[in-house]
């Protein structure tokens, strides 16, 4: 049980770090495309300095690059949602990852759907619907956030299949470089779908540069290492659903530093309460199943 407790500690520390990613999306004034491009570049460079170039087969390298492409697309949509609405909306839409994972994982792993997982996911969905109803001005941002959650769930499920026999830092290294190349390639198409009225590809300077470095070092490298360590003991669904706590951490900070309490009403907080209930029940069930030895072995990584 000590190893399980340690895994939960690592998981929730990574969730806390993840809570800051949405804040960086607001603090960094760049468009979401260069924000993600530089985040991946800086993260890959940090890993290159401290890890070097890990050796993997060409086939595995290509698979990791494909997973990195999903991660890059998720990040662009995630930050796009924040910039189109606000921090609170962008991060709470990420809660839908559990809903999508509850269906994607059984489909790709050819196992039966666990209806308890679907039930927890539906509780999360009800919470998001409460959030969606609170202000029509933010629905465009919410729709982008829902798309972001779907891509994040795909990333998590494919990551589970592809990274089972790869060290976490090796997987992250090639995902960053692969994602960087793919983000560069799809950026023109992304900008046609989500056009920008301002210049996009600019060199970060001043505070943007320092925020990007902090985002890459603490909220990418450190966060992902903690995640993958936790995932060796916890299931993909448990980790994804636990990351619904990310909005709670982020929103509390946003309320204090960005004054977003003025933009939120009772239906928003009711949605948050449903999501928190879902996370609490899933964590309790996971601990009970671990004691009985019935929970599946995970090898998945959520994305934030």
Q: What phi-psi label fits residue 301: left (phi over 0), alpha (psi between -120 and 50 degrees) or beta?
A: beta
- Number of Cβ within 10 Å of residue 275's Cβ equals 27
More confident residue, 62 or 107: 62
Q: What are the helix (H) ranges across 136-265? A: 139-162, 168-193, 206-216, 223-231, 236-242, 245-257
Least trusted range by pLDDT, from 18-32, 117-131, 227-241 = 227-241
Q: What percent of the chain has pLDDT over 90?
A: 18
User: Is 302 a residue whose pLDDT tops 50?
Assistant: no
Band of pLDDT at residue 216, cut at 50, 70 and 90: very high
Look at residue 303 in the predicted model and tell me its pLDDT: 61
**SS3 label, residue 233:** coil
- pLDDT averaged over every residue in the chain: 80
Q: Does 169 or 63 have the greater pLDDT score? A: 63
Residue 36 has pLDDT above 90, yes or no: yes
The answer to whether the CB of 232 falls within 8 A of the CB of 290 is no
Taking the C-alpha atoms of residue 24 and residue 216, their distance in angstroms, rounded to an integer, is: 10
Confidence band of 176 (pLDDT split at 50, 70, 90): very high
Angle between helix 266-292 and helix 2-27 axes, rounded to 10 deg: 150
Query: 148 with 74: CB under 8 angstroms?
Result: yes
This model's pTM is above 0.85: no
Q: What is the pLDDT of residues 232-289, one digit of tens each?
A: 777 766 776 676 677 777 777 777 777 765 656 677 778 778 877 877 777 677 667 6
**Cα 148 to Cα 81: distance, rounded to the nearest angstrom:** 8
Nearest to 244 by CA among 218, 204, 275, 265: 275
- The confidence score (pLDDT) of residue 147 equals 93
pLDDT classification of 204: cutoffs 50, 70, 90: confident
Question: How many CB atoms lie under 10 A from the CB of residue 1?
Answer: 8
Rounded to an integer, the average pLDDT of 211-232 is 85
Angle of the 139-162 helix axis to the 58-84 helix axis, nearest 10: 160
């Amino acid at each position: 049980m000590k190893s399980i407790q340690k895994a939960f500690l690592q998981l929730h520390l990574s969730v806390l770090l993840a809570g800051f990613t949405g804040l960086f999306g607001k603090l960094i004034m760049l468009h979401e495309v260069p924000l993600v491009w530089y985040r991946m570049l800086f993260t890959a460079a940090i890993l290159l300095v401290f890890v070097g170039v890990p050796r993997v087969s060409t086939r595995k390298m290509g698979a990791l690059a494909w997973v990195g492409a999903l991660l890059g697309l998720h990040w662009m949509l995630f930050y796009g949602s924040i910039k189109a609405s606000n921090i609170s909306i962008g991060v709470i839409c990420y809660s839908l990852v559990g809903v999508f994972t509850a269906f994607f994982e059984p489909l790709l792993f050819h196992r039966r759907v666990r209806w308890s997982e679907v039930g927890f996911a539906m509780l999360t969905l009800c919470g998001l619907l409460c959030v969606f109803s609170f202000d029509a001005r933010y629905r465009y941002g919410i729709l982008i956030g829902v798309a972001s959650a779907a891509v994040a769930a795909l990333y998590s499920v494919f990551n589970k299949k592809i990274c089972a026999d790869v060290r976490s830092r090796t997987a992250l290294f090639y995902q960053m470089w692969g994602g960087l190349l793919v983000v560069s390639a799809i950026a023109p198409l992304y900008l046609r779908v989500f056009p920008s009225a301002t210049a996009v590809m600019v060199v970060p300077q001043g505070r943007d540069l320092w925020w990007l470095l902090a985002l890459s070092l603490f909220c990418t490298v450190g966060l992902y290492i903690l995640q993958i360590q936790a995932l060796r003991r916890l299931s993909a669904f448990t980790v994804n659903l636990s990351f619904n706590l990310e909005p709670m951490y982020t929103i509390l900070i946003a309320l204090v530093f960005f004054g977003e309490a003025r933009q939120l009403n009772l239906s928003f907080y009711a949605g948050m309460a449903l999501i928190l209930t879902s996370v609490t029940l899933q964590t309790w069930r996971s601990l009970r199943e671990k004691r009985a030895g019935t929970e599946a072995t995970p090898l998945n990584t959520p994305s934030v």
